[in-house]
Structure 1
């Protein structure tokens, strides 16, 4: 049976730590007023409003304690914490686990759950399991096993909407739950912003599932509680987010916008609710307008600096307050209750069958043309309102007259219409159920394929990043190669210019040779030196240095001037001496010039060797580039083949895991049946033990009476034997007893043996009772304490 209830909304304001003033005022426990910048006051009314001085215990006692009661009664529950970043959501939900006063809603609810479990009846057995996950960048991540990220969302008829692959931990006390909470909190993604030094960058969902079974009646109940700490809505201008933090803020605001759209659609009466626009709304689909009792805690800031965000948060709470949920108890009826319901249905069916038979008899009389008195009409039944209306309308249309064939046909058609409608509705319901199952199955398969494709895309992105880095390295190598080519071209160009300069020098030397033919004897040695200089100039033509060619050009110009002066002077002894001195000077200059030519030649050789080395380096780089391209193509092909093989292996492993999971489910069902059979066997043995104790006590009492009677008879026999000498006649029941050594033992020994045997029998029964172990049930731990 489901009940309609609205979402309970609680507003809580954090303490004001700014200097620009407080804009919030309170009117009672359910109304707050916001003073805006235009000197207007806006009022908001909720189920409860907590001011800045409220404590953690106040919030828990008002709304969350009732949620725990609903959970243990078999209802689903959800607690949200919504608000802007830095408004105290995580403090309200989690707080300080180790501090009694500052601990948040989740630790207090966990303690309350186990306190009520330990205080419950011993006939109820409980199973409690928890899970902890976060939605980071629209990917579901298991906080208990952080390596499990990007988990898919599935849906089926039994479990509803659930996260496939999410780990669940079975717990037996509050301390184990606190350890799980600490472990998961360490794996959450947080970052520092201008608004909050430890801002949560993801939505966290802590789930508690409680299943209970009454071993006396066999009734079972299950309840699931979602405790949600939403990430805060952010305004980039205030938080100063950039880089990765900015991308996280975009995803957070997008999911919160999807949550707002879902709430707007629920309150506006839209036919389509966009639950699938975000993974947050998809997981919490039952919490918003479904089978759950939901409480929303909106956290706000009273500072004027956050006026716009505070008003937006309060309006969000007003919209959420109008959502109606259809919560129902998740119970599996016991066999006794099912029998009771079956008995009621059978009684109802019997009454309807008798009513139908009376109606058929009455219709038969009407068809025969007989008139049925009003006092003998069949009594009205609420369950047969439609048939009753048809019969009454028929009676009122033609009272006291027989039915014609046309009226009879119309009556039969109207009588058969509800049955046909029921059959058609039942067939359409079965068809819709099959279509829904097929749709859910296909959706789950597509979700798995989508997750696999996303994983492959992530791997391809990594490979693409590696290839881009390799391409950058190749481009750098290409740029170095281009630089070397430019250097080589520059060197070749300088070599050509040097060759042109050498050709000019050759022309000038040939002209000097023609001029010196007039005085061959006087200038023989000088011409020899000039030829040497000419040969050296020719050798310099192979050099690529412009500076050396300019030096040679200057030397040849000086020689030309000297020859011109010699031609213009007359040959005298004084002039011969002067010419000898000039020749000596020219020889010295020639020797210096030879040294310069040698240096230039060595530099030319070095330059040629450098050019050859660079050419070889360029060729080597081109060869390496070709090899790297070939290796890259082969590596990419191998990588794709490896990925395909790994995908096939993963598909095979997934199938094996599914088969193992199915086998394990079957084993679990068999184990549950065996456990129930063992419990029934234990109860039977306990009952047999109690019956055996009662029968043993009765036999012991009767044996004691017989023993007392026999002893009295023995005393009387002894006293009689002292007075009369005659054989002793034992009682018939003693002579017929089952004693193995009655010929060798006296009557008192036989009685003592019988007493010891009965004591051993009772002791053995008590030892057997002490070895039976009872299962742990509700209330046992509290008794031990």
Structure 2
């Protein structure tokens, strides 16, 4: 686990048409495979400051295969061993970074590092032992405008970078697709390339506007010792540094160029800080790019930096800057280590192995101590002396007799020295084993504590879940109780509303009757006053005059009764006060009847007054025809009658005043009876307002519950639809699976029959059919998945080492028919079908093995 420098590889591309049109000439020279010189004006070198030495320098005549074999293949092989690896491509825009990293996927010669890496990984899986199980995951992201965007799920456009002790530095919530063959990776690469941000500039028609990061995780599990190794590979295609004067960027493209140059500047600052011994702080957090590459630059990773440069003098300044960047990066040192995770099963196995070794060492030590004592050699101090009986029980009779024969003779000094050195070596081994045992015990104790803490957390979560369930049950019961109480309150509100309306109607009737009574009394007063002013005394019939005292006495008695009833009801309760007010209303009605009689009497008095007026007129007319004596008698009689009538009117006024006073007293008594009634009505109004507020709250809560219920119903409907769709898909998949099984069985039977009964020519002609049968069997038997199906379903399909995948002829690959899509990992023991159709090894002569391969 020693420190090693970052590997830096320089690649120079050929001149392009634009550089030739600008009159640019070649300004770089590659005198050796590790050296590159930047010429001054394309003629000669300007000194040592323009000569750079890297791990390897490739000129414009190199191939993609050469760059991959030197720069990337060792990193990828290290990832298969459990290390972290990183390959970066850095350079100015249009210098060939994307061509180096990706290239043309369908072209065998122009493929870049990423497609070739895929083949290397699956070849390593095939070459591994059968007891090693692999799981491969792929993720693609881009850093665009300082935002991390998932290219497999473009809706995730602002992911965050996290760090912890278990995973290290990672991007949270990123989409990781499980892959089982090369074609799955190529399909994912095409999706990521389609979603990547590109734009046209003056220097590149397909300029990358973001940093592309291709992340591949390989987890391998040893089925024998249950150990787990995890290797992670970062393949980074950086966006090119730009000069606005050359690219002609404007608008959004200019903003992108600013952010690209800013992140590349942050990367340069990190490299400067790592190579400067005086700097104690490394600014990894200045950019999302440097944060993701923190382990790749100065951390736990094997890193290779590929710098791409233009050979044209038109880009001489940018080329010099790129070469200096690579020279500084070469000074960075990384310390890479295998990412091995020990499972509980593995730790148990190691503990059992250590215990067995310790027991063996103890038995050997006891045997040696007994041998030393037998030969008269004193055991050194500090060593536990085992009893002779225990040593005899531990050692067999054969060992004992052998030791006696061996040491029957006196030992020589050389033998004693050898035995002592051997004994000390054994003791040292024993101490080492004890230390290892102690470490393993501590690890197991730590794991037990971790398991206990996890169990406690689980119990806590279950308890919280139970508490929440109980709360939900209590809330449901409370909700039902509130609904019941709300219904009761609604009924109470309706009853109170009806009572209030009845009381209001009764109060209104009393007020109307009181107003009518007052109006009648005032009218009587006015009429009496007008009659007094006119001096006319109406003639009242004697029977009515005789009855008036009786009527007045009856009215007085009635008023006295009403007054006694009102005084007797003052100390009653609220309900009795309400009943008393009703009796007072009845007494008022009786009084109104008496006033009605008075009004009738008034009308009759008015009629008599009219009659008296007529008689007066007749008398005036008769004055001229009668004598004075008769007139005087009549006048005296009339004056006497008038006097009597005036006395009667005066008596009536007195009676009227008394009645008015009684009416006022009755009015006051009615007012005193209204006060508790009004207080009760106001209290009922307040209660009604409170009940109304509670009603509105309950209505709002009920509406909220209804909305939640509707939302939950819709969710349930959507889930039911989804379940139904999944069930249909499952039925279709089962039908296809059964069909494929049937086809596989038919093909297997056919191949077995033809191998048993056919000729050699027929067997050779069936080579291609055997390959097709093997492909069908792999897809139906569970060893492989149709291209892209594992990615869509995102289901982990472990690959076993040593599997041999059926390969198509080379011509089909070169035609770009996607031959890799049919390469599926198989279980161990499956025969490889070569391009000529013959089986590898000696299985061709064995029909049973032929059938197993098909």
TM-score range, shorter chain: 0.3 to 0.5
Q: Report the TM-score when normalising by structure 2.
A: 0.42
Q: Report the TM-score when normalising by structure 1.
A: 0.46
Please tell me whether Structure 1 or Structure 2 has the larger radius of gyration of its CA atoms: 2
